[in-house]
Chain A
Amino acid sequence: MRKLTITSMIFIVLVFGFSLGYATELAVWSSPDNADALFELAQNFMQAHPEIQIEVTPLSWEVLYPRILQDITAGVGAFDVTTWDLMTAGAIAPGMLDLEAFAQEHPDLVDPDFDDDDFIPTARYIYGYWGDKRIGQPFYGAAMFFFYRQDLFQDKALQEKFQAQYGRELRVPETWQEAKEVAQFFTKKFNPDSPTEYGIGLMFPRTHTLFYMFLNFFGPYRRSPEGIEKFGEVDLDWGDLFTADHQPAFNSEEGVKAIQDMIDLLPYSSDPLGSDYGETLEAFSKGMVAMVPQWTACMASWQESPDLQPFEEKVGIAIMPGKAPVSGGWGVGINAFSKNQEAAFQFIQYATSKEGDKIQWLKYRVGPTRKSVIEDPEVIADAPWLKDVYLPSLEGASHRPRIPEEPRVEDVLVGTISEILLGQAPNSIETLNLVAEEWKKVLSK
C-alpha cells in the first residue's frame, strides 16, 4: 500500500510538473501537405521558445475545412493555429484573428525582420486577406504547372517527325491549341511511333479537381485583353469565374470555348473522367505520358521514380498553356477564440518568416511565398525554374472564388461540366446559363 501511494504521488508530481513546465500548449491543425514542414518549423520554434509546446495535427482536406468552420462557429477554440485553403477564406474569415489589428495591439511581439512587403503581392492577398481583414500569413504558395518529358521534346528524331507532320517545330505548348497537336503527336493511338502511350495526363473527375482544372482552360480567355474588356478586372475575392461586378462570367462564348478545349484533349489522355491526382501522378511517373498539368507536390514522388531518371534531364517544368494557371495554396492563421493568441502569433510569424519559407521549400517542396526566398542563391541553385516559371505563374494565376458559397457553386458547375464531358449535356451557352442561374440562386440566399 505504501509503495502504491509513493508511486502514485511520483506519477502525479511528474505529470503536473511536466505540464507546469510548459506555460502554453498550441494546437496546430494542418492539411497533410503542409504538416511535415510545419512539424519541423514547430520543432525549431520550440527550441527557441521552450515555454511553448506545439502539437501539429494533420487533417485531410475534406475534414479540415468543416472542422475549422464547426469550431469557429461554435467558438470552441479547439485549435489555436490552422492552415487554411485559399478558397475557404470568405467562409472562415469571421472566426479568424485579425493579425494586423493584433500586431498593433502587441507591438512587442512583432518581429522587426518579418518584412511583410517581401511577400509576393498576389500571395500576400490571396493567402492573407479577406477584404480588409488580415486573416493569415502566406504559407504555401501554389499554382498548377505544366510538367513535360524534357528528353522527348529535345529528341532530334522526334523533333524532325513533328516538323514534318505539323509544319512547325516541336516545343512545349504555350497555348491549349498547341497542346492539342503535341498531345496527339505523343499518343500512340494516333502516332504508333510515339514513345509514350498518351500525350497528356488529364484529371477531370467529379470532384473539386475538375473545378480547378476548368480554370486552367477558362483563365486564358478570362485574362486575355478581350476577356478583361468584356468581364472587367478580376476581383481576387470573387475570382476569375465572376465578372468585375460579381456576375457569373463562364456562361459565355469564352466558357464554351474553354470546355471545348477540354473536350478536344480527351482522346489524348488516359481515362480523364476516371482519373484524379493519384492516377495522373502515377501515369507520368511510369513514363506513360508526355505532359501533365500538376501541382509541385508531385515532384517529390517523381524524383524517386526509376522511369524518370535522371530527373533533371527527363522532366521539365513550364508555365501552363495559356499562361493563366489556377492558383492553389494555403495561408496560416489564428483562431479568434484561441486562448493562446500571443504564442500563436509568434509561431506563425516564425513559420512564415524568410527562414521558415526557405526551409519549407528546400526540405518539403512547400512553395515559397517570399520574393527574397525565390531570389536566394541556394534556392536558385536548387530550383532555377522558380524565378522563370513559378513566380510568373503565381503572379498571372487565375483564381477560384474565395466567397463563403464557394463549395456549393463549385459543386453545381462541376456536375454540369462533368455531364458535358460525358456527352450527356451539350456544350452551349444555354447549358452554362442554367448553371449561372443556380449560382445566382445560391448567392441570393
Chain B
Amino acid sequence: MMNSKKRKRTGFLLILPLLILFLGLTIYPLIYMIYMSFHQYSLASWEEPRFIGWENYREILRDRTASSSVSFTLFLLFTAVPLEILLGIGIAFLIRDVWGERALRSSLIIPMTIPPVVAGIAWKMLYNYEFGPINYFLSLFGLPKVSWLGSQFFARLGVLLIDVWQWTPFIFLVIYAGLQSIPRDVVEASLVDGASGWSAMRYIELPLLRPLIWVTLIIRVIDVLKLFDIVYMVTFGGPGSATHSYSFYIYKVGISFGWDVGYASALSVILLLVVTVLTNLLIRFLRLSETLGL
C-alpha cells in the first residue's frame, strides 16, 4: 500500500516539471487569449484592457479582410491539400522498384527540408517578372511574361504551387514508408490469384494505407489553416487581398498593426475552434479512432 502511494508520488514529481511547463506555456496563454478576445487592448493605444463583450467577434463578421482571408484559406484547403495527397500517393507508387529509387527518394524530399522562409525568398526570385527564371523559360516557348505577384489569379496560383512543391514530399514520404511496411506476401498472393497490378494497388495496398492517408490529410488541413510564412515572404497578402491567408491576417492584426491583442485573440480563438472542430469531424467521419485503435 505504502509502496503504491510512494510510486504515485514519485511519478507525479517526475512529471511535475513538464506539467508546469505545459500549464505555463500552453494552458495559461490559451486561457489568457480567450480572456483577451473579449477585451479592447492594443499596445499602441497605451490604454488598459477594456471589456467589450462579443464586440471583437462581431467585428470579424464585418471585417472585409477577414472574410477574404477565409476565402483564400478555403481555396488552398480545397486545391492544395487534394493535389498534394494525390501527387504524394502517385509518386510513392510510381517510384517503387524503379532504377535509382534511392536517389529519387532522397531528392524528392528536398523541398520539405528547406525552411519555408528560405523557400519563400527563392520562389520570389523565381517569380520575378523581368529577371525570374520562370518567365525566362516561358519566353523560350514564345509565351508572354506572367505577372506572378501582380495579378490576383497568378498570385494565388503562385502560393498554391509553392505549397504543393513544398508539402507533396511529406505525403510522399509517409505513404512511401507505409508501402514499405505492407507485407509483400499479401500482394504477391493476390498476384498469384490473378489480380492485376492495378487491382492489387486498388483493393489491397490502398485500403491498408488508408489510416496513413487520413492522418496526413488531417496534418495538412491543420497546416494549411496555419499557412503564414510563404505568404509573408512572397506576396505579403497581395495584390489586393488576394493571398491573405487567415494566419497571415492574424499576424498583421496582432503584430504589424501595433499589437492589437484583443482583436488578434478573437481571430485566433476562431482559428483554434475551426481547427479543433474540423479535426474532430475528420476523425469521426473517417472513423480514425477505430482504424488507429484510439
Show the binding face of A for B, using Cβ within 8 Å.
Answer: 62, 65-66, 69-70, 73, 90-91, 94, 205-207, 270-275, 279, 282-283, 288, 404-408, 411-412, 415, 418-419, 421-422, 424, 445
Contacts and interface: CB of A to CB of B under 8 A. Distances in A.
23 contacts: A66-B256, A66-B259, A73-B46, A94-B46, A205-B236, A206-B238, A206-B241, A270-B130, A271-B149, A271-B150, A273-B147, A273-B239, A274-B151, A279-B128, A279-B130, A405-B44, A407-B44, A407-B257, A408-B257, A411-B252, A415-B64, A418-B238, A424-B240
Q: Chain B, interface size: which category?
A: 35 or more
Given A272-B150, A273-B149, A404-B45, A282 B131 contact: yes
A283 B40 CA distance: 45
B67 interface: no
B258 A206 contact: no
A419 to B, nearest CB: 4
A419 B240 contact: yes
Interface of B: 40, 42-46, 64-65, 127-131, 145, 147-152, 155, 235-241, 252, 255-260
A406 B44 CA distance: 10
Contact of B151 (A273, A279, A405, A411): A273
Given A279-B128, A411-B257, A73 B43 contact: yes
Contacts of A70: 43, 259
Given A273-B238, A411-B252, 18 more contacts: A66-B259, A70-B259, A73-B46, A91-B44, A205-B236, A206-B239, A206-B240, A271-B145, A273-B150, A273-B239, A274-B127, A274-B239, A405-B258, A407-B44, A408-B257, A412-B65, A415-B64, A422-B152
A66 B129 contact: no
A93 to B, nearest CB: 9
Given A91-B44, A282-B131, A418-B239, A62 B256 contact: yes
Contact of A274 (B44, B65, B129): B129
A73 B44 CA distance: 8
B100 to A, nearest CB: 38
A422 B240 contact: yes
A193 to B, nearest CB: 21
A130 B240 CA distance: 32
B49 to A, nearest CB: 12
B150 A275 contact: yes
Nearest to B68: A415
B43, B130, B147: residue with the most chain A Cβ atoms closer than 10 Å: B130
Contacts of B255: 66
A199 to B, nearest CB: 15
Contacts of B151: 273-274, 422
B129 A270 contact: yes
A166 B256 CA distance: 46
Given A270-B130, A282-B131, A415 B240 contact: yes
B46 to A, nearest CB: 5
Contacts of A271: 129-130, 145, 147, 149-150
Contacts of A207: 236, 238
Nearest to A197: B130
| Interface residue SS majority, chain A | helix
Contacts of A65: 258
Contacts of A270: 129-130
A445 B253 CA distance: 15
A271 B130 CA distance: 8
A282 B130 contact: yes
A445 B40 contact: yes
Contacts of B44: 69, 90-91, 404-405, 407
B62 to A, nearest CB: 9
Given A273-B150, A282-B130, A418 B240 contact: yes
Contacts of A62: 256
Given A62-B256, A274-B150, A404-B45, A422 B239 contact: yes
A283 B236 contact: no
A419 B151 CA distance: 10
A205 B258 CA distance: 21
A350 to B, nearest CB: 30
B257 A279 contact: no
Nearest to A63: B255
Given A206-B239, A272-B150, A407-B257, A69 B43 contact: yes
Nearest to A210: B238
A62 B127 CA distance: 23
Nearest to B55: A445
B241 A415 contact: yes
Nearest to B149: A274
Nearest to A412: B65
A307 to B, nearest CB: 13
A206 B130 contact: no
A407 B251 CA distance: 13
Nearest to B256: A407
B258 A91 contact: yes
A84 to B, nearest CB: 13
Contacts of A94: 46
A272 B236 CA distance: 15
A11 B138 CA distance: 63
B147 A206 contact: no
A282 B127 CA distance: 15
* CB-based closest 4 A-B pairs: A206-B238, A274-B150, A273-B150, A274-B149
Given A271-B150, A283-B130, A288-B130, A73 B239 contact: no
A90 to B, nearest CB: 8
A205 B260 CA distance: 24
A307 B258 CA distance: 41
